[in-house]
Amino acid sequence: MIAIKRIYIFSALIFLFSSTLGSPAIGQVLTKKVDPLRPIIEIKTQKTLTVEELIEKLKRVNYILLGEFHDNASHHQLRGDLILRLNQSKQTVVVEYLLAGKEVQFLGSTLESLHAAGFNSKAWSWSIYGPLFEQLRISQRPIVGSNLDRSISKAIFSGEPNPIPSSLKEDYQKSPLSAPVMSALEQGLIEGHCGKLPPAYLKPMTLVQRLTDISMARVLLERSSGILLAGNGHIRKDYGVPQVLKAVAPHQSVVNVAFTEDDGLDSKTVANYRDRYDYVWLTKPIERKDPCADLQFGKPSS
């Protein structure tokens, strides 16, 4: 059964602990075919779609949210290809990998330009993310960051009073989670950190996650149209960016696509995804060492 694995520490916590390409390249990156055995599934109808059919469904959407497993290079390749095929150069690409307020200006090499915008190529491995950003550069779309400022995360984990900034407070108040959904978010954070999450971390981490999603939504709403690139957890309908967008801008059209690994798909899994994703794009699983083996947390602040 497919599981949207939440085994990687999300970016806010990572930061707490731790030459122009020519147009001929476009043809080169669009030559790969999607593996028919690992298709795109429309969750509502359970139908299998081609890339072209998915593109037709995305063309008139205000905000497109594309998920990922951070360490699966094929997810980044497929999303880069998809963005090029959408062929809407004025559509802003909003990314999890830069802080909100940062924008990429391509003045030197792609990596140099990203570093100038604050990109951390250790936290976001360049060997994995480099090809994606090369494709984004080819697309000539604006690229802006959306992640939560580290000072806000630190204030939350330090227990400072009133840590929610005024720029996010109104959206936070407008988009409360119901008790069952909040419970699902908390359980997801616990499971996503291998069951090792100290109880004292749960409340601040939940707030950081919520504010990160609100920050992403706010950056999107500053544009009339945009594509968000972020982890699958951030694009969930029940407690992620779509929940915020629906609460604060209900008339905007939003579609999300989770990129996951194919462990088989059954009707129960599809039913569970109905409240989370519009589409699931299946990819070949990669080999990885157990991320839970070395995961440790320092002593929580009192």
In tens, the pLDDT along 269-292 reads 777 788 999 999 999 888 888 878
Tokens 């802003």: give the residue. 92
Asked if residue 52 belongs to a domain, the reply is no
**Residue 65: its pLDDT value, please?**
98
Q: What is the pTM of this model?
A: 0.87
Q: Establish if 207 belongs to a structural domain.
A: yes
234: its two tokens: 């951030």
- Taking residue 2's Cβ as centre, other Cβ atoms within 10 Å add up to 19
- Residue 38's pLDDT band, with cuts at 50, 70 and 90, is low
184: containing domain: 144-223
Average pLDDT over residues 177-201: 92
In a domain, 194, yes or no: yes
Nearest to 263 by CA among 8, 7, 38: 38
Q: What are the tens digits of pLDDT across the range 81-105?
A: 999 999 877 899 999 999 999 999 9
Q: Which two tokens stand for residue 119?
A: 């990109």
| Number of domains making up the chain | 1
Signed CA dihedral, 205, 208, 214, 215: sign only: negative
Mean pLDDT on 8-26: 37
Bridge-based pairing of strands 40-42 and 279-283 is antiparallel
Say how far residue 82 (Cα) sits from the centre of its chain.
15
With respect to residue 197, please indicate whether it lies within any of the assigned structural domains: yes
| Residue 189 forms part of a structural domain | yes
Using only C-alpha atoms, what is the Rg of the chain? Answer: 19
Within a domain: 100: no
Does the pLDDT of residue 34 top 70, yes or no? no
**What is the strand order of the sheet 226-229 is part of?**
47-49, 40-42, 279-283, 254-261, 63-66, 226-229, 92-99, 143-147
In a domain, 24, yes or no: no
Per-residue model confidence (pLDDT) at position 106 = 96
Q: What is the pLDDT of residue 173?
A: 98
Tell whether 83 is covered by a domain.
no
Q: What is the C-alpha to C-alpha distance for residues 204 and 186, in angstroms, rounded to an integer?
A: 11
